Amino acid sequence: MASHIVGYPRMGPKRELKFALESFWDKKSSAEDLQKVAADLRSAIWKQMADAGIKYIPSNTFSYYDQVLDATSMLGAVPPRYGWNGGEIRFDTYFSMARGNASVPAMEMTKWFDTNYHFIVPELGPDVNFSYASHKAVDEYKEAKSLGVDTVPVLVGPVSYLLLSKPAKGVEKTFSLLSLLPKILPIYKEVISELKAAGASWIQFDEPTLVLDLDSHQLQAFTAAYADLESALSGLNVLIDTYFADLTTEAYKTLVGLKGVTAYGLDLVRGTQTIDLVKAGFPEGKYLFAGVVDGRNIWANDLASSLSTLQRLEDIVGKDKLVVSTSCSLLHTAVDLVNETKLDDEIKSWLAFAAQKVVEVNALAKALAGQKDEAFFAANAAAQASRKSSPRVTNEAVQKAAAALKGSDHRRATNVSARLDAQQKKLNLPVLPTTTIGSFPQTLELRRVRREFKANKISEDNYIKAIKEEIKKVVDLQEELDIDVLVHGEPERNDMVEYFGEQLSGFAFTVNGWVQSYGSRCVKPPIIYGDVSRPKPMTVFWSSTAQSMTQRPMKGMLTGPVTILNWSFVRNDQPRFETCYQIALAIKDEVEDLEKAGINVIQIDEAALREGLPLQKSEHAFYLKWAVHSFRITNCGVQDTTQVCISPYSFHFSYSLLSHH
């Protein structure tokens, strides 16, 4: 039985690529130095998978910045403002597209589906002269082969590439990006030809847009593209990989009807209904790459459950046609649990980072082949049982409070106009009051103070004194500028989610659990492993301290429950909305304590509302419903005179959310 990994994190176990990139950008190291770090990382990843027994090992999933930008480079689709004159695209052009330079801005960056990863959006139009301008896919295949590892080269599929693009500046918004298919397919054919000549026997096309709500014209583009590529792909085994959600019935029919395709990769973790499509009909003689190991979370796989699923699939597709895989690229999870020295053994036993997920995939494949590692499966079963029964996971008081929520708990008792009148009498603000969004710049000195306090190098008294001095500067500046509603600047906070998670029960934190957000930017999401509660006030001391420095209203600043949820690794043993309601109840306690302390304006930041929006429109209403309910829970208990506002930043559904509140 075979095993497969869709993709793997690029940054390295301790962010080696991040530091190499930033050193190169700062002109502290050479291009050769950067390339050496990258080559070492690739070699280590390939060797790790080969040693683990993975059969289908991906190549060309490494990137210096972003895989979609790599595809743009491969196609020579460089916007004219970067002054590229043809030839192989080098670092100067590549990083200018990613980051901009002294003369021109970077290309747009946006969310990769509903993940916290960002990709560089291609800018296309009818006048783009596509050319084969980056041989990275072929070079990396050859590089792996020279190391004795035969890999599956991975390309962003041609249709997904176009559907993820946008019309370039000056191009009509109505321009059909799919009309460019005949122009980019010849480049794909060149790449395919070179890969075949280099000895590749498999090729993987990532076509994740198949999980979106696509119309018949868009679905037809997949059929047309792979029909055009069929002769070029002759002699190769072709895998089309989809991920992040269920396929619609029409998308599934399109996928399994593509010409020249050998195998289909399906996300069976988030695509909970897709397995029913497979049961209803799977093409004879084709391979199913079954994504049963979660590529987007850090929980250990329930191996017994996954094995049962695989055995059912085996009866449908055939024993020799089933391949065990990850649900998507492991890019979206942390790298290696072995580097976590501060997590206790119990919590660590519940987790699996990318390196551990590789082992899980192969263990499942071996079990299907009759070579089950009984000790490994027994340890996994024990960890699953431990997690279900641990008192650290379940808090009866929290469960009761969440279960007791009723419709009335989601709304304040009086209407908006009455509350606004009461708030105006209390706050006496002008018709159009001024404020700021919240945080002020964190200086190197401020970060040093926080770092030294955390390391016990300065006393708590000295730390509090330093933070108070910073708050006083911020308050004085705002009064000098005649701001109406002040903020304290948040000098005591490290990260808008981590700061609160560290003070809430049910959260754990890693040392090296970094995940790439974009380029060299990495984040370290908290882990929500249990029921969430607030043992004690989190922000009241600093907000009331700041209020004592001014006669003007001082805002209490909180991160909202939906943002805390969406920027964390969330427990997978209960629905996400239930965890969100628990966080909302904890924030509710904080809101009410702020009010008791004399804080009458409270801002709840929901910067990540959009991140949780499901990929398929049929699921939007349910998400928006519980997101709105979560916010209402946070402030349903305060007095009419207290103003609580949601700050959704750049969320395009913010008006509909606010209008419901």
Domain range summary for the chain, segments of one domain joined by +: 396-518+525-648
154: which strand partners? 204
The b-or-e profile of 571-599 (16+ CB within 10 A means b, else e) is bbbeebbebbbbbbbbbbbbbbbbbebeb
- Highest averaged pLDDT of the listed ranges 6-20, 609-623, 627-641: 6-20
Give 396-518+525-648's CATH code, choosing from 3.20.20.210, 1.10.260.40, 1.10.630.10, 3.20.20.70.
3.20.20.210
pLDDT of residue 657: 41
Report the C-alpha gap between 624 and 648 in whole angstroms.
13
- Average confidence (pLDDT) over 404-432: 85
Of 598, 485, 592, nearest to 545 by C-alpha is 598
**What average pLDDT is seen over the chain?**
94
Asked if residue 410 has pLDDT above 90, the reply is no
Instruction: Tell me the three state secondary structure of residue 341.
Output: coil
Report the C-alpha gap between 17 and 229 in whole angstroms.
35
Report the C-alpha gap between 332 and 450 in whole angstroms.
29
Report the C-alpha gap between 184 and 250 in whole angstroms.
25
Instruction: Tell me the three state secondary structure of residue 515.
Output: strand
Report the C-alpha gap between 178 and 176 in whole angstroms.
5
- Average confidence (pLDDT) over 608-613: 80
Asked if residue 83 has pLDDT above 60, the reply is yes
Confidence of residue 649 (pLDDT cuts 50, 70, 90): low
71 CB-contact burial (10 Å; exposed 0-12 / middle 13-18 / buried 19+) = buried
**The residue to which tokens 């009761």 are assigned:** 400
Q: Percent of the chain at pLDDT above 90?
A: 89
Asked if residue 424 has pLDDT above 70, the reply is yes
Report the C-alpha gap between 218 and 209 in whole angstroms.
10
Of 230, 122, 207, nearest to 158 by C-alpha is 207
Instruction: Tell me the three state secondary structure of residue 317.
Output: helix
pLDDT in tens, 345-382: 999 999 999 999 999 999 999 999 999 999 999 999 99
Instruction: Tell me the three state secondary structure of residue 482.
Output: coil
pLDDT of residue 656: 40
Query: How many other C-beta atoms lie within 10 A of the C-beta of residue 374?
Result: 8
Least confident of 486-500, 554-568, 611-625: 611-625
Report the C-alpha gap between 589 and 592 in whole angstroms.
5
Report the C-alpha gap between 508 and 240 in whole angstroms.
37
Of 307, 303, 329, nearest to 244 by C-alpha is 329
Instruction: Tell me the three state secondary structure of residue 262.
Output: coil
Q: Which carries the bigger pLDDT value, residue 69 or residue 420?
A: 69
Confidence of residue 227 (pLDDT cuts 50, 70, 90): very high
pLDDT in tens, 471-512: 999 999 999 999 999 999 999 998 899 999 999 999 999 999
Name the CA radius of gyration of the chain, rounded.
26
pLDDT of residue 655: 38
110: which strand partners? 119
Report which secondary-structure segment, H or E, holds 81: none
Question: Residue 267 — φ and ψ, nearest 5°?
Answer: -80, 110
Report the C-alpha gap between 328 and 31 in whole angstroms.
31
Q: What is the DSSP letter of 432?
A: S
Residues 620, 570 contacting (CB under 8 angstroms): no
pLDDT of residue 82: 97
422 CB-contact burial (10 Å; exposed 0-12 / middle 13-18 / buried 19+) = middle
Asked if residue 215 has pLDDT above 60, the reply is yes
pLDDT of residue 445: 92
**DSSP states of 583-626:** HHHHHHHHHHHHHHTT--EEEEE-TTTGGG--SSGGGHHHHHHH
Q: State pTM to two decimals.
A: 0.93
